[in-house]
């Protein structure tokens, strides 16, 4: 029987259509607004006859489905984003006339997207990789895109090498693998032949490349930019994002297991944090310096493979980013958002950094390929939130066009909203500076020191972090098939730190050491360690925003669970219950406590610390469950804090850990839950 539709008058554009008599659901329509009578069957000539070409409903549906995927980003394809705002702490007109920094307490809407670099859209979140850290500020004078990374330096100095870098890091073209990893010959071949990449390699092999959460990593603008004030005075500036929750990473074995347990781990973490009201926050800091400092600084401030230590130019905190709203639609927002380094506002300007100059071309060109039209700026996620007026018109998928007869400038027609003019007083002005020189292809000699800051980064790390870097180099290079490539990498490391290079060579089983790589400039050994470059030296000292995994079985002590839960809530931390069945377990008090995870779906790797609450009558269930033994063994191996009760002894013994307990193990029969939670502020028991 045909379904009936009622037209309920002219409300808005085209009126409203109601499906069925009760009006419970609005009518399904085609993209043209035509109501759809049957969405289950295509139009046929007879019950079992051929489909008719005139079935415009079926053809439109299939047509759109066939084209619903747009080309993914060549790099940064795997990304996740959220909406929020930037709050200006104090006005800084003496530094810049950028509008968003002129009024204390003003909140500017923004959209932030975090991403891996090398992997495709379907790759896992915990790949060892640089993370993109891009923020689109919707300011009152246009959009400003601060398109950076979670590492302050980069592999290359000139944008002309970017295709080579990315090609080498991606899947090898003849075999189509490996995916989302650099542990293969092509990448390390390129890197070993590119000395300028050495500094970035040290960062990429450090814990910075495997963050525990997107919420727990720093962000950097990478390049040197310019601040311009109303007087036209210029200062150089580098941008830093400092996570208020502190920095935290995982260990490599943990990353591998997280990718298997939950390849969407970072996405899920960010989504859950925002939905739970635990809004991720970063403070925006700037390193501001003048031309005199730039001239005296040991390295060229236009070299993207270099940073300026915070001890030399302190980071001035100027505001805070808060992410407080998830997207309504992933494709429309996170996938279609178009970041362009060229998107700056009055008060901010570019420098002559050759990598930045090339990015300004590349990003705009990329959006045309991905989004299909120069009108990608009309998409809501990319459109400015301030008024915009221009004479750009038409083109594929145009959604905004000038009204009236005038579409050129200058013109003599009367003033109107659709007839804009230049704004000499507040319009964007490039910083005026003399430019001259021969036309040539040349790499400045001031870019020639490739090892000194790599060494500085290495000596700034804690002993634990240095060990992780050594293991990372050994792991990655062990996947390289050609010995000469491995040898070239170690030859570069010899210019960074000889002992470190020997440790890597030993881990690879070298029979003899290669000679140090020829250096354009000798490595400086007078650069002091910079504690700001270490994650562990800047530990947050709190468990806030982290998650405890509590494994329970029938008969567990409910009072201990309540004590832990209360202390975690006070700390601003979370917990999840893991049980043999997702339905939960019955406590010693006879109450049924629901679980969030089943033991084989909630491994310890997805938690920051763990607790084992069991009973003498049910502990054998854990002993006989391989996943339960892995839960405890992995937590110990990954240096996590472990709380337990005496009833868990058989499980500890079954894991071979009876004589391995240390101060990172907390006996809840002797220690109060509140004290256990306080201990968790150290995040890991690295002494293990």
User: Which residue numbers are catalytic?
Assistant: 76, 149
> How many angstroms separate the first and last alpha carbons of the chain?
72
Residue 593 to residue 584: CA distance in whole angstroms: 5
The dihedrals phi and psi of 397, each to the nearest 5 degrees, come to 60, 35
Annotate 60-101 with DSSP letters as a single string. Answer: HHHHHHHT-PPPPPSSS-SEEEEEEEEEESS--TTT---GGG
Tokens of 335: 């996938």
333-359: burial string, b at 16+ Cβ within 10 Å, e else? bbbbbbbbbbbbbbbbbbbebbbbbbb
H helices then E strands: how many in the chain?
A: 18, 21
User: Residue 585: left if φ>0, alpha if ψ -120 to 50, beta else—which one?
Assistant: beta
Residue 322 to residue 82: CA distance in whole angstroms: 10
CA 144 to chain centre: 19
Residue 109 to residue 133: CA distance in whole angstroms: 17
Tokens of 217: 């990593």
3-class SS at 331?
A: helix
Residue 487 to residue 433: CA distance in whole angstroms: 45
Are residues 218 and 150 in contact, defined by beta-carbon separation less than 8 angstroms?
yes
Place of tokens 């579409």: 407
Q: Within 547-672, where are the H helices?
A: 558-571, 619-623, 626-637, 649-654
Nearest to 39 by CA among 65, 14, 15: 65
Pairing of strands 25-26, 79-88: unpaired
**What is residue 531's DSSP assignment?**
G
User: Taking the CA of residue 516 as centre, how many other CA atoms within 13 Å lie in the half-sphere pointing to its CB?
Assistant: 16
Helices 483-493 and 185-192 pack at an angle, to 10 degrees, of: 40
Place of tokens 């905190």: 317
Longest dimension (CA), the chain: 91
């Amino acid at each position: 029987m045909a379904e009936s539709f009622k037209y309920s008058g002219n409300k808005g554009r085209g009126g409203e259509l109601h499906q069925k008599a009760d009006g419970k659901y609005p009518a399904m329509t085609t993209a043209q607004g035509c109501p759809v009578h049957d969405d289950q069957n295509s139009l046929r000539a007879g019950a079992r006859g051929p489909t008719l070409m005139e079935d415009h409903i079926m053809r439109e549906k299939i047509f759109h489905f066939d084209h619903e995927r747009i080309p993914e980003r060549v790099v940064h394809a795997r990304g996740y984003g959220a909406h929020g705002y930037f709050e200006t702490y104090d006005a800084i007109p003496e530094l810049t006339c950028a509008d968003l920094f002129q009024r204390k307490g003003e909140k500017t809407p923004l959209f932030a997207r975090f991403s891996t670099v090398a992997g495709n859209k379907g790759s896992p979140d915990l790949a060892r990789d640089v993370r993109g850290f891009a923020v689109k500020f919707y300011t009152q004078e246009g959009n400003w895109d601060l398109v950076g990374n979670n590492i302050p330096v980069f592999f290359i100095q000139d944008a002309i090498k970017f295709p080579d870098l990315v090609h080498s890091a991606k899947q090898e073209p003849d075999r189509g693998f490996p995916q989302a990893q650099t542990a293969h010959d092509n990448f390390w071949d390129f890197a070993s032949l590119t000395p300028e990449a050495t500094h970035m390699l040290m960062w990429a092999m450090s814990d910075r490349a495997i963050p525990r959460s997107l919420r727990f990593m720093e962000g950097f603008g990478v390049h040197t930019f310019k601040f311009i004030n109303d007087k036209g005075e210029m200062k150089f500036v580098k941008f830093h994002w400092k996570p208020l929750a502190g920095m935290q990473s995982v260990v490599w074995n943990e990353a591998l297991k997280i990718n298997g347990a939950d390849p969407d781990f970072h996405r899920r973490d960010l989504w859950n944090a925002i939905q739970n009201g635990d809004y991720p926050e970063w403070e925006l800091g700037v390193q501001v310096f003048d031309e005199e400092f730039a001239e005296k600084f040991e390295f060229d401030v236009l070299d993207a493979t270099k940073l300026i230590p915070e001890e030399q130019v302190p980071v001035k905190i100027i505001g805070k980013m808060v992410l407080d709203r998830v997207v309504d639609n992933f494709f429309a927002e996170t996938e279609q958002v178009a970041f362009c380094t060229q998107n700056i506002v009055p008060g901010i300007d570019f420098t002559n950094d050759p990598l930045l100059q090339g990015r300004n071309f590349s990003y705009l060109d990329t959006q045309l390929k991905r989004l299909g039209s120069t009108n990608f700026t009309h998409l809501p996620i990319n459109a400015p939130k301030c008024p915009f007026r221009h004479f750009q018109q038409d083109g594929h998928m145009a959604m905004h066009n000038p009204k009236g007869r005038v579409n050129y400038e200058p013109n003599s027609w009367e003033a109107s909203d659709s007839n804009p003019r230049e704004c000499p007083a507040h319009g964007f002005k490039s910083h005026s500076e003399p430019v001259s020189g021969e036309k040539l292809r040349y790499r400045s000699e001031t870019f020639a020191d490739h090892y000194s800051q790599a060494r500085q980064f290495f000596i700034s790390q804690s002993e634990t972090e240095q060990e992780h870097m050594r293991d990372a180099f050994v792991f990655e290079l062990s996947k390289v098939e050609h010995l000469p490539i491995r040898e070239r990498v170690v030859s570069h490391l010899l210019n960074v730190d000889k002992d470190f290079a020997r440790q890597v060579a030993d881990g690879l089983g070298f029979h003899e050491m290669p000679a140090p790589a020829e250096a354009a400039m000798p490595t400086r050994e007078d650069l002091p360690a910079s504690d700001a470059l270490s994650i562990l030296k800047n530990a947050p000292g709190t468990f806030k925003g982290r998650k405890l995994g509590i494994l329970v079985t029938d008969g567990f002590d409910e009072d201990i669970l309540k004590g832990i839960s209360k202390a975690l809530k006070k700390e601003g931390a979370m917990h999840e219950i893991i049980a043999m069945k997702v339905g939960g377990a019955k406590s010693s008090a006879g109450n049924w406590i629901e679980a969030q995870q089943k033991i084989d779906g909630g491994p310890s790797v997805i938690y920051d610390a763990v607790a084992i609450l069991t009973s003498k009558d049910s502990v054998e269930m854990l002993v006989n469950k391989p996943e339960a033994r892995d839960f405890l063994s992995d937590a110990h191996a990954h240096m996590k804090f472990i709380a337990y009760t005496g009833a868990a002894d058989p499980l500890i013994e079954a894991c071979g850990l009876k004589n391995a307990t240390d101060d990172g193990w907390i006996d809840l029969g002797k220690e109060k839950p509140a004290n256990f939670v306080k201990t968790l502020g150290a995040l890991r028991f690295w002494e293990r």
